[in-house]
């Protein structure tokens, strides 16, 4: 039987019931949270010619009007509940390949916020070792006629760049916004560029890929440069060797690759930059953050923005 009439007293009671719920500690409110989650970048490789540059950490964002990695649109915001603990993990960068070892770099570590996980960047390739798959893929090492660059994770980052089959040069690592550059016979590949976000109120580019390494010609002009957004530069081996550089901390940038592993001017591959987790929520909320996390919070325009730069623990809202 359909209800045809609801008494005034019933409406008043219903409103009073809702009011009591909202004031009750057991009442669970819905909280909307925007996020930027970037994983740690991979470590650069080293080869008997030029190592592959490392891939950037996976890049996922829910900020309206911005992009996630790999050419994807912004994701949906998260709807969370008060008085519930949510995991936050800031992924560390992967280690670069050791000197005189001709090996690939190590993948970066994942970053996590609640149900959102960004994949660590792929390590750069080494002699006989493919570039690794990751958030963005690691670049291929020189003479990689069989070896291949690593693949990026869909909606997080791009693939690494190919190496030259005849030159002593490596490909660049993939970035969140572009494929790693392929090497030519004389020049190592640059890392792919990262993506810009204004979640903090200032536009910052993050998650650039690492540059490829080179043995010959062994000048800094021929090494691969890191992609915009914290990617490390590749290195050049030989008597005028130039050291590669690490990915920038808290950008998820890939580490730069090294040149010839058995040269007198050889250097190790470099580590990827650590990731970052940034969340944005109403300034009427109070966040309780576990002691295992390093963070800071700013307030502006009716929102709080909390930036996590290291560690792992839980966060809850009230």
Nearest to 311 by CA among 251, 250, 265: 250
Quote the CA–CA distance of 233 and 49 in Å, as a whole number.
16
Quote the CA–CA distance of 193 and 181 in Å, as a whole number.
10
Tell me whether the omega of the peptide bond preceding residue 217 falls within 30 degrees of 0, making it cis: yes
pLDDT tens-digit series, residues 219-238: 788 999 999 999 999 999 86
Name the percent of the chain lying above pLDDT 90.
75
Q: Is the pTM of this model over 0.75?
A: yes
Within the chain, residue ranges assigned H as helices are 8-23
pLDDT tens-digit series, residues 43-84: 999 988 899 999 999 999 999 999 999 999 999 999 999 989
- Greater model confidence, 81 or 166: 81
Whether residue 240 has pLDDT greater than 90: no
CB of 58 closer than 8 Å to CB of 258: no
On the 0-12 / 13-18 / 19+ scale of CB atoms within 10 A, 311 is middle
User: How much is the average pLDDT of 252-281?
Assistant: 91
Nearest to 173 by CA among 247, 73, 276, 68: 247
User: How much is the average pLDDT of 276-282?
Assistant: 98
């Amino acid at each position: 039987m359909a209800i045809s009439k609801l008494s005034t007293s019933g409406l008043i009671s219903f409103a009073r019931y809702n009011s009591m719920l909202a004031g009750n500690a057991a009442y669970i409110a819905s909280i909307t949270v925007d996020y930027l989650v970037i994983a740690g970048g991979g470590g650069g490789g080293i080869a008997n010619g030029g190592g592959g540059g490392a891939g950037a950490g996976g890049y996922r964002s829910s900020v309206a009007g911005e992009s996630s990695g790999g050419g994807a649109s912004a994701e949906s915001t998260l709807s969370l509940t008060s008085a519930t603990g949510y995991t936050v993990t800031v992924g560390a960068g992967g280690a670069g390949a050791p000197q005189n070892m001709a090996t690939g770099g190590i993948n970066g570590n994942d970053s996590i916020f609640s149900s959102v996980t960004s994949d660590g960047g792929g390590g750069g390739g080494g002699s006989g070792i493919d570039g690794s798959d990751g958030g963005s893929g690691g670049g291929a090492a020189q003479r990689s006629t069989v070896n291949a660059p690593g693949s990026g994770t869909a909606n997080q980052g791009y693939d690494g760049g190919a190496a030259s089959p005849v030159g002593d040069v490596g490909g660049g690592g993939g970035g969140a916004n572009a494929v790693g550059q392929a090497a030519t016979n004389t020049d190592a590949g640059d890392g792919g560029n990262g993506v810009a976000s204004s979640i903090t109120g200032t536009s910052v580019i993050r998650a650039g890929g690492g540059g490829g390494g080179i043995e010959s010609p062994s000048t800094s002009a021929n090494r691969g440069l890191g992609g915009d957004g914290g990617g490390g530069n590749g290195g050049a081996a030989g008597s005028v060797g130039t050291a590669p550089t690490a990915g920038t901390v808290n950008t998820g940038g890939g580490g730069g690759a090294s040149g010839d592993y058995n040269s007198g001017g050889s250097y190790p591959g470099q580590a990827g930059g650590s990731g970052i987790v940034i969340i944005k929520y109403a300034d009427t909320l109070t966040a309780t953050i576990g002691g295992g996390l390093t963070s800071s919070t700013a307030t502006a325009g009716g929102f709080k923005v909390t930036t996590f730069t290291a560690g792992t623990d839980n966060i809850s809202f009230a």
